[in-house]
Amino acid sequence: MHFAPLFPIIYRILQPSFPNCLWHGDLNSKAIALTFDDGPHPQYTLPVLAILDSYNIKASFFWLGVCVNRSPHIAQEVKNRGHWIGLHGYEHLSFPTLSPTDLKLSLETTQAAIYNACDLQPEQVRDVRPPNGFFTPGTLKLFHQWNYRSVMWSIVPEDWVRPGVSVVVQRVLSQVTGGSQIVLHDGVCGGQDVAEIIKILIPQLLQQGYEFVTVDKLWKMKEGANRKN
């Protein structure tokens, strides 16, 4: 069963209910974030990097610790090219199914894998996106307690079920607005198509006047807007 039509509805319901999470950036800006989950992958990530390089775009990657350990050289390439790095857990397990002890271990083990591959200190990698987008208020409370930042999404084109490159591209283009946070995948599920997707998507978004920024920049924009309010 495909859930793509439901994600915009879920977003509209959850976003105001959990305002401390990062769902999007400044809605009045043309800045958007291109994000990738489930990597790094030995086949799928490098073609993504090549396309991002060709447009001088910085993206954000939410990594599984097990994948970092399998492909540390790919992880290092992502870091060396200046992209933003976040956590997606050690394995792709829904966080609400884990005990607090296991959840903390999953995040810290992933930070350790990233440190070993990229020489990034744990405090430099504290953005967390829950696998499958599943979380509870208790999950978010633990993130805050452990000094992590909760990163969600505003556009989820369900690329991991591989509905076709053109379908994914059109889903993004039909939903994109200022501040959008777009979720794609460079891992086992969806990674086969991701380079072709962004190869088509990026020039069309640039033509519409959008600017690509990292998740960290979206946080700074959110913090700036909160100070004004």
Evaluate whether residue 27 is within a structural domain: yes
Question: In this prediction, what percent of the chain has a pLDDT beyond 70?
Answer: 97
Q: For residue 228, name the pLDDT band (cuts at 50, 70, 90).
A: low
Does some domain include residue 142? yes
Residue at 130 is within a domain: yes
- Domain containing residue 28: CATH number: 3.20.20.370
SS3 state of residue 183: strand
Residue 68 belongs to a domain: yes
Question: What's phi and psi for 85, nearest 5 deg?
Answer: -125, 135
Q: Percentage of the chain with pLDDT > 90?
A: 88
Q: Establish if 16 belongs to a structural domain.
A: no
Structure tokens at 141: 């409370």
- Condensed to tens digits (0 to 9), the pLDDT of residues 8-52 reads 888 888 899 999 999 999 999 999 999 999 999 999 999 999 999
Cβ contacts of 202 within 8 Å, gap of 6 or more: 34, 51, 55, 57, 212
Please state the separation of Cα 179 from the chain's center in Å: 14
Instruction: Check residue 68 and give its pLDDT.
Output: 98
Number of folded domains that form the chain: 1
Domain carrying residue 108: 22-228
Task: Answer whether residue 12 is part of any domain.
Answer: no
pLDDT at 1: 47
Q: Is residue 8 part of a domain?
A: no
DSSP reduced 3-state for 27: coil
Of all helices (H) and strands (E), which one includes residue 174?
A: helix 165-175
Structure confidence by residue, pLDDT tens digits, 134-155: 999 999 999 999 999 999 999 9
DSSP category for residue 19: T
**Residue-by-residue DSSP string for 187-208:** STTTHHHHHHHHHHHHHHHHHT
pTM for this entry: 0.96
Mean pLDDT across 96-121: 98
Task: Give domain status of residue 13, yes or no.
Answer: no
Residues with catalytic annotation?
37, 185
